[in-house]
Amino acid sequence: MMMMAWVLESALRSLAMAVIVWSGIKMLRVRNVAVQKTAWVLVLLAAVAMPGLVGWRLPQSRAAVVVPVQRFVPRAASVHDPGPPSSAALSTTTITVSTSSTVTPVNRWDHIPWKELIVPAYLAICAVLLLRLLFGLGMALRILHRAEEASPLLEPRASVCISGDIQTPVTIGSTIVLPEAHEDWNLHKLRVVLAHERSHVRQGDFYLQLIAGLHVVFFWFSPLSWWLKKEISDLGEAISDRAALEEAQSRSNYAEVLIEFAAIRRRPLAGVAMARSSNIRRRIDRLLVEQKFRGAFTTCKWHLAAAATLVPVALVAAIALVHVEAAEAMQTPVAALRQVVPVAQTIATLPTLAVHAAIPAAAVDPVTPVEAQAKAATDSTQIQIADDDENSYAIVSGDSGNVMGSWHSGNSFDRVKSKMHGNYIWFERDGKSYVIDDPALVAQARGYFKPIEELGRQQGELGEEQGRLGEEQGRLGEMQAKAAATPPDFSKEMADLQAALKDLQQHKLQAEVKEDDLSEMQGKLAELQSKIAEMQGKFGDAQAKIGEKQAEFGDQQAKLGEQQAKLGERQAVLGAQQATFSKVAEQKMKSLIDSAMQQGKARPVE
């Protein structure tokens, strides 16, 4: 599944990059086929390299990590939990033991491991497409191998071969292959064909189609891969058509040649044919419609530079999404941190140790990681997850319920736990259960996991610190919202002043005004305009103050973000240390069990 996540992420980022490039081409109104082909070839190369740019985050080694879980007693039992039940959802692993032999009928389709079939199905389709591509390539190379080299006098500027296995001209690698029927062509038709195929050789269309075909093999589920292959092929044909027109008598005459070749049936191979019936209509329209012809072949250096710049920008934008997601992930509130296991790696594949129970279990209040470690000597339960079916083990400390180990609910450990008392180590080898009750060995085993518990405590403290920073960022957000509140509303005053000014000007135009009245009216106009300017000044001052506050809050948010980043780095360091210590502890635990078996300190359990 990790491989599929890697492939899907690469495909989605390639699609995002292509959408950006397509939008840029449409916005810039780029119609020149050479410029478009340059852009889409760069997109193809970037899409092929995308898996390496994204990086395959391989799964962490299955080292043992301490995961606090909750203990509970089934309601059918006679022992009751003294604490009040809680309806809160437990964020830690719950172990449910079935207390009834009732079998619930299930659908037979539920037993099919659909997730496990995804990768084989994907690889099977890839294999079919790869075989199809290799078959076409093999046919093309076979034709080239059987073809006879033509005289240099026929075309001194390119390598030309003659083959009786084809009916239309084709480019294979850097070689032009002509059919034997070319001897019946007139000189004009031969020159047009050779000019067209020489252009394919210069563009490297054979190799571009091979790369596009490989991209389709591994990203067959993405519409971008199929579209890129077809678009690059069509644009290459258009450029070759333009080169052929230099030898043609007229556009209509060359169009007749294309229609003639398109009507001939051919076998599929990994070569570049001169004409295909699937795109012939589009090519004819481009040749005969004057507006389309000019738009497709008018050279613009500015457009070429823009297209060459657009693709790297789109690639950077698509790749940069990784950093945005990582930055958001570091700003997790403390409430969420207290509900998850304080380990560096995400245990996405942690199995739920549960069996469907006929009698529901009593709910228990969740315990935070720090609290669980503090109460380990009293009522907490700790499971050491190693996910090793053949070598399950558990370290039990007295009747306190403190258990560390790796086992599956319903196996022999659950039966041993009800019989054994005191401190002991239970483990399973080759399907048989054993117990070690030597106090020194039990203490030694528990000591292996002390460093991991200490790292868990430190991660809990970092979680609280991140929570504090999160609360501080929330407080700043509220302050920013208040600062961005609607400024003082001067709209009514401004409207009144504007209306008065309009009435005064209208009266001035319509009335017969004396010189004294005119001076008075001009004074009123000046006064109104002064008030309007004063109102506008107040509004500008209010906006400036809001901007200053927003800038100040932004600086504070940036500082908090830096602190969050530092805490995230410390979390990563602690996580790496915890993974290392967990792996070492698991190895030591296995060595201890092997030694106890050899020394006879492990006794079998009936």
pLDDT on residue 446: 82
Using one digit for the tens of pLDDT, what is the confidence trace for 243-271? 999 888 888 888 888 888 888 766 555 55
Q: Which of 341-345, 404-408, 586-590 has the lowest mean pLDDT?
A: 341-345
- Mean pLDDT of the chain, nearest integer: 72
pLDDT on residue 418: 67
Share of the chain above pLDDT 90, in %: 19
Q: Which of 403-407, 519-523, 578-582 has the lowest mean pLDDT?
A: 403-407
- Whether 32 and 239 have beta carbons less than 8 Å apart is answered as no
pLDDT on residue 235: 92
Between 283 and 114, residue with greater pLDDT: 283
pLDDT on residue 110: 53
Instruction: Name the pLDDT band for 399 (thresholds 50, 70, 90).
Output: low
Quote the CA–CA distance of 484 and 52 in Å, as a whole number.
44
pLDDT on residue 90: 36
DSSP letters, 169-219, are -EEETTEEEEEGGGGGS-HHHHHHHHHHHHHHHHHTHHHHHHHHHHHHHH-
Quote the CA–CA distance of 578 and 584 in Å, as a whole number.
10
pLDDT on residue 346: 38
Quote the CA–CA distance of 449 and 282 in Å, as a whole number.
71
DSSP letters, 576-599, are HHHHHHHHHHHHHHHHHHHHHHHH
Q: Which of 140-154, 300-314, 350-364 has the lowest mean pLDDT?
A: 350-364
Kindly report the pTM of this predicted structure: 0.47
Q: Which amino acid is at 67?
A: V
pLDDT at 444 over 50: yes
Residues in contact with 601: Cβ distance below 8 Å, sequence separation at least 6, in sequence order: 436, 438, 441
Using one digit for the tens of pLDDT, what is the confidence trace for 82-109? 444 443 333 444 444 343 444 444 455 5
> How confident is the model over 61-66, as a mean pLDDT?
41
pLDDT at 308 over 50: yes
Q: Which of 75-79, 146-150, 398-402 has the lowest mean pLDDT?
A: 75-79
- Whether 426 and 101 have beta carbons less than 8 Å apart is answered as no
pLDDT on residue 85: 43
Instruction: Name the pLDDT band for 354 (thresholds 50, 70, 90).
Output: very low
Share of the chain above pLDDT 70, in %: 63
Between 550 and 181, residue with greater pLDDT: 181
Residues in contact with 263: Cβ distance below 8 Å, sequence separation at least 6, in sequence order: 277
Between 112 and 179, residue with greater pLDDT: 179
* First-to-final CA distance of the chain: 40
Quote the CA–CA distance of 375 and 364 in Å, as a whole number.
15
> How confident is the model over 41-66, as a mean pLDDT?
69
Write down the residue that tokens 């060359």 correspond to.
254
Between 356 and 271, residue with greater pLDDT: 271
Q: Which of 93-107, 444-458, 525-539 has the lowest mean pLDDT?
A: 93-107
pLDDT on residue 362: 37
pLDDT on residue 133: 93
Using one digit for the tens of pLDDT, what is the confidence trace for 195-250? 999 999 999 999 999 999 999 999 999 999 999 999 999 999 999 999 999 888 88
pLDDT on residue 381: 39
pLDDT at 277 over 70: no
Q: Which of 197-206, 218-227, 367-376, 480-489 has the lowest mean pLDDT?
A: 367-376
Between 125 and 103, residue with greater pLDDT: 125
Measuring CA to CA, how many Å separate 52 from each of 332, 364, 469?
Answer: 29, 46, 35
pLDDT on residue 322: 47
Q: Which amino acid is at 397?
A: S
Instruction: Name the pLDDT band for 456 (thresholds 50, 70, 90).
Output: confident
| 393-397, strands of its sheet edge to edge | 402-406, 393-397, 424-429, 432-436, 603-604
